[in-house]
């Protein structure tokens, strides 16, 4: 337990700042209700910041992230006239594939946030947008699993090698990174104590590096976790099973790019990206974020769904509670989740993505309603 928790908030681009404002509102309410002192420091960053200043973020920002007890991020990705831009004309970014996304990728890699933990959980009352209509397709309670995405390597290392007629981006998969992420997944399946099953999702029928990932998964699983079931799927087939049979899954683990894709796909079955969150977790640091992008076309309209940002704060509270053995934080996380669950099951104060344009509430109204529920719960 600590007297004060230092939280770095990175609002970023597009809808990032407005959804994070609602997330931080909930964090401040938790501080007030549970008498916990949060020292929150907001740091500007993202594509727009780079575009204007030709530097990722103010000098010393990475050191602040390093010193923080936890980091919470809005979204990154900047557009001008419908085109993603990173730099001013004539000023190319040194590593184009990281441009504008650097805070996300560099923090994940430099802070060694090796497990990207993405719950796929359908709350009661949530409707999905299918055929442009809002209906409930999947059963709440039957969609409840975790995607654990390796977060530091695979195709995300920023390396590209030019060849005469193109470029090669290597897929790097090492034993060290694989062992620790699969261990994280196995330990989570034990802690959850539900199906006690971990599914390895990859493209090992064709990609050699993925075959290695799967071998390490099997080795660690059979040696260290004989009490758990090991399950395997190729990513293409997995994409249809996760829609058809989400109840099969408990904990799913895969290489970085596979995890990126299947977590968005899974979000479809849990009400869409407006509700999907991710924790980037390492042994020393952690960063929490909604997994939707910066959605530039909705930016500044007070329209976007703040629930993913609020649930990111919720996940952060839970992680901090375990890390610092602070029961106040663990309980606060439970109450924030209950406040969100209540809002969703009442089905009234929700943004357009969950209730349709006509009945839609504003982003700030949804934040306000969660705050009210939280005060009621205590």
Q: Among ligand IPM, Mn ion, none, what binds residue 101 when CB lies within 5 to 8 Å by partner kind?
A: ligand IPM
CB-side neighbour CA atoms (13 Å) of 369: 21
Catalytic residue chosen out of the listed positions 6, 197, 232, 264:
264
The C-alpha atoms of residue 218 and residue 213 are separated, in whole angstroms, by 9
**What are the structure tokens assigned to 181, written together?**
């992420």
* Residue 104 engages ligand IPM in binding (rule: CB under 6 A): yes
Would you say 263 or 314 has its CB closer to ligand IPM?
263
Q: Of the candidates 260, 318, 326, 337, which one interacts with ligand IPM according to CB under 6 A?
A: 260
* Residue 154 engages Mn ion in binding (rule: CB under 5 A): no
Q: Of the candidates 79, 250, 260, 326, which one interacts with Mn ion according to CB under 5 A?
A: 260
**What are the structure tokens assigned to 294, written together?**
């910066």
User: If we measure between CA atoms, which residue out of 147, 154, 214, 156 comes closest to residue 184?
Assistant: 147
Is 231 among the catalytic positions?
no
The C-alpha atoms of residue 319 and residue 188 are separated, in whole angstroms, by 13
Residue 291 C-beta: closest distance to ligand IPM, Å: 5
Burial class (CB in 10 A: 0-12, 13-18, 19+), 372: middle
Would you say 151 or 199 has its CB closer to ligand IPM?
151
Would you say 31 or 266 has its CB closer to ligand IPM?
266
User: If we measure between CA atoms, which residue out of 315, 310, 292 comes closest to residue 119?
Assistant: 315
Residue 44 C-beta: closest distance to ligand IPM, Å: 17
**Nearest residue to Mn ion, by Cβ distance, number only:** 260
Is 156 among the catalytic positions?
yes
* Residue 154 engages ligand IPM in binding (rule: CB under 6 A): no
List binders of ligand IPM among 277-306 (CB under 6 A).
291
* Residue 101 engages ligand IPM in binding (rule: CB under 6 A): yes
Catalytic residue chosen out of the listed positions 260, 318, 326, 353:
260
Residue 23 C-beta: closest distance to ligand IPM, Å: 16
Is 264 among the catalytic positions?
yes
* Residue 273 engages ligand IPM in binding (rule: CB under 6 A): no
Is 144 among the catalytic positions?
no
Is 154 among the catalytic positions?
no
Which spans of this chain sit near Mn ion (rule: CB under 5 A)? Answer: 260
Catalytic residues: 156, 203, 236, 260, 264
């Amino acid at each position: 337990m600590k007297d004060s928790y230092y939280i770095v908030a990175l609002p970023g681009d597009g809808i990032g700042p407005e959804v994070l404002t609602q997330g931080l509102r909930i964090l401040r309410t938790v501080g007030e209700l549970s008498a916990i002192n949060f020292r929150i420091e907001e740091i500007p960053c993202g594509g727009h910041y780079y575009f204007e200043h030709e530097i990722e973020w103010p000098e010393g920002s990475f050191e602040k992230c390093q010193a923080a007890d936890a980091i919470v991020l809005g979204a990154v990705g900047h557009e001008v006239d419908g085109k993603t831009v990173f730099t001013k004309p004539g000023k190319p970014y040194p590593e184009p594939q990281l441009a504008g996304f650097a805070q996300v990728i560099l923090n994940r890699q430099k802070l060694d946030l090796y497990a990207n933990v993405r719950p796929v959980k359908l709350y009661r009352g949530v409707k999905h947008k299918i055929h442009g209509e809002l209906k409930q397709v999947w059963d709440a309670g039957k969609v409840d699993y975790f995607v654990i995405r390796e977060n530091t390597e695979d195709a995300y290392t920023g390396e590209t090698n030019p060849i005469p007629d193109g470029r090669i981006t290597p897929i790097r998969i090492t034993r060290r990174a694989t062992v620790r992420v699969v261990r994280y997944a196995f330990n989570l399946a034990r802690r959850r104590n539900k199906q006690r099953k971990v599914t390895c999702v990859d493209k090992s029928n064709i990609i050699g590096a993925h075959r290695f990932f799967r071998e390490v998964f099997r080795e660690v699983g059979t040696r260290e976790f004989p009490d758990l079931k090991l399950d395997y799927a190729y990513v293409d087939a997995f994409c249809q099973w996760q829609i058809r049979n989400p109840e099969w899954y408990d904990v799913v683990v895969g290489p970085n790019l596979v995890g990126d894709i299947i977590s968005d796909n899974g979000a479809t079955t849990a009400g869409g990206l407006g509700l999907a969150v991710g924790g980037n977790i390492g042994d020393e640091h952690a960063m929490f974020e909604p997994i939707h992008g910066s959605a530039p076309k909705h930016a500044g309209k007070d329209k976007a769904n703040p629930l993913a940002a609020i649930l990111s704060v919720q996940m952060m509270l839970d992680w901090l509670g375990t890390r610092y053995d602070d029961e106040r934080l663990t309980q606060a996380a439970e109450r924030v989740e209950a406040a969100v669950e209540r809002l969703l099951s009442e089905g009234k104060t929700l943004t357009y993505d969950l209730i349709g344009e006509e009945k839609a509430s504003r982003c700030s109204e949804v934040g306000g309603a969660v705050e009210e529920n939280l005060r009621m719960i205590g």
